[in-house]
Amino acid sequence: MTPFEEALKQALERQEPAADFTARVLARSASEDTKAGGWFGAWRLGAVAAALLIAAGGAAYQRHEHDVRGIAAKRKLILAVRIAGSKLHEVRQRVAESAEVEQ
Amino acid sequence: MKNSILKMAIIAVSLSPVWAAEDFKLPINLDKLAERAKESVDVTLDSSMLQLASGFLSRDDPDEAQVKKMIGKLKGIYVRSFEFDKEGQYSMNDVQAIRAQLKGPNWSRIVGVKSIKGENTEVYLLKNGDQIGGIVLLDAEPKELTIVHVDGPISPEELSRLGGHMGIPNMGKEKKRTRRESGTPDAKEDERDDEQAEK
């Protein structure tokens, strides 16, 4: 065996890993997963919160619009009833007056 | 087959004037009067708007509760009212266009009052069998024109019941006041009624 072959054999000799090698690898892998999951989780939570905020805002705006239209419709209705009632009152008064004149 | 289609067409044509007569619409040209008017009111409330308004009427307020009950069956309320600075701001053609629609067989004029002051008031009822299908009130005064159309089952009495509420004068009290002022024999009877009511 030449000295070169001897050196090569030594370099390629099988070496057993340290006893905590598996545990270290698993621990590192778990830490990487948590890091990535944390980012994704926060982003997802933010998106859901934003969507909820938009939906709540939209619903509140719709409710406000409905209230504004409803109150305007109520005012119009009361005005219409007031005019109709007053005019009918005038008519009845005129009829009553003309009946009294005839008597 | 051809005969049945022909029969159906004849029935449809013969019924069409009745439908047209029932379908009262406020003339569009009335809106032009608003430009000349000192004050104008334009109220258009179809069934959906009435429903919306009804939701905002309180059940606890007696006036609003009464209106809520009254409008429950209605299909619409339409009011056009114009008040002018001087006479002659609207033509009789404007009024005729309204009257023409009320000449159908289902419409009947229940009240027509003309005064020497030039006030001309008419009330028309739409009859659907025994039921009242609507009311049109037309009040043409020298400086004022008002048209009220209540579409749906309502009687003038129901509207009158609102007297004394919502700023509408009470017919009964008004009558008594007139009688008291004129000193008619009924006045004493009215006073007795009022005393009893107070007790």
pLDDT higher than threshold 50 for residue B178 = no
Q: What is the pLDDT, as a whole number, of residue A2?
A: 85
- Does any domain span residue A70? yes
Q: Which residue, among A63, A76, A101, A103, would best test binding to B if mutated, counting the most B CBs under 10 Å from its CB?
A: A76
- Over its C-alpha atoms, chain B yields an Rg (Å, rounded) of 21
Q: What confidence category does residue B168 fall into, taking pLDDT thresholds of 50, 70 and 90?
A: low
Tell me if A80 is assigned to some domain. Answer: yes
Task: Give a yes or no: residue A41 inside a domain.
Answer: yes
pLDDT tens sequence across A67-102: 999 999 999 999 998 888 888 888 888 888 777 776
Q: What confidence score (pLDDT) does residue B5 get?
A: 56
**CB-based contact B52 A70, cutoff 8 Å:** yes
The pLDDT value recorded for residue B1 is 53
Nearest CA in chain A to B80: A80
B interface test, pick of A77, A97, A101 with most B CB neighbours within 10 Å: A77
ipTM for the assembly: 0.70
Sheet strands side by side (includes B120-128) = B39-46, B76-83, B144-151, B131-141, B120-128, B107-114
CB contact under 8 A, B148 and A80: yes
Average pLDDT over residues B108-128: 88
- The domains of chain B are located at 22-165, 169-199
Closest A-chain CA to B71? A77
Show the DSSP H helices in chain A as ranges: 3-11, 21-102
Query: Tell me, what's the pLDDT at A88?
Result: 85
Å from A81 to nearest chain B CA?
Answer: 8
Percent above pLDDT 90 for chain B: 31
**pLDDT tens per residue across span B3-21:** 665 555 545 444 444 444 4
How much is the pLDDT for B18?
41
* Backbone phi, psi, residue B124, to 5°: -115, 145
Q: Which of A77, A95, A97 sits opposite B53 (nearest CB)?
A: A77
Taking only the tens place, the pLDDT of each residue in B66-111 is 888 888 889 999 999 999 999 988 988 888 888 988 988 899 999 8
Note the pLDDT of residue A96.
82
Decide which of B156 and B128 is more confident: B128
Distance from CA of A83 to the nearest CA of B (A): 8
- Closest by Cα among B174, B167, B114, B45 to A85: B167
Q: Per the domain annotation, does A48 fall within a domain?
A: yes
**Whole-angstrom distance, CA of residue B107 vs CA of residue B124:** 6
Per the structure, the count of domains in chain A is 1
| pLDDT band of B188, cuts 50, 70, 90 | low
Of the ranges B49-53, B94-98, B115-119, B178-182, which one carries the lowest mean pLDDT score? B178-182
Q: What is the distance in angstroms between the CA of the first residue and the CA of the last residue of chain B?
A: 76
Q: Does residue A35 form part of some domain? A: yes
Q: Is the dihedral of CA A45, A49, A55, A59 positive or negative?
A: positive
DSSP B122-158: EEEEEEETTEEEEEEEEEEETTEEEEEEEESS--HHH
Range of A39's domain?
Answer: 18-102
B67 chain-A contacts, CB cut-off 8 A: 77-78, 81
- The closest alpha carbon to B159, from B130, B175, B131, B136, belongs to B136
* Separation in Å, CA A61 to CA A55, A56, A57, B3, B64: 10, 9, 6, 59, 27
Give the separation between CA B81 and CA B149, rounded to whole angstroms: 11
Q: Which residue of A has its CA nearest to B155?
A: A88
Judged against a pLDDT cut of 50, whether residue B43 lies above it is answered with yes
The verdict on residue A56 lying in a domain is: yes
- The per-residue pLDDT for range A2-40, each reduced to its tens digit, is 888 888 888 888 888 888 888 888 888 777 766 656 667
In this predicted model, which residue has the larger pLDDT, B127 or A41? B127
Closest CA to B64 of A78, A73, A71: A78
The answer to whether the beta carbons of residues B163 and B171 sit under 8 Å apart is yes
Q: CA B45, B46, B52 angle in degrees (round to 5)?
A: 75
Measured between beta carbons, which residues in chain B are less than 8 angstroms from residue A95? 111, 113
Rounded Cα–Cα distance for residues A81 and B164 (Å)? 13
**What residues in A contact B119, CB-CB < 8 Å?**
94
Q: Which residues of A touch B121 (CB under 8 A)?
A: 87, 90-91, 94
In a domain, residue A4? The reply is no
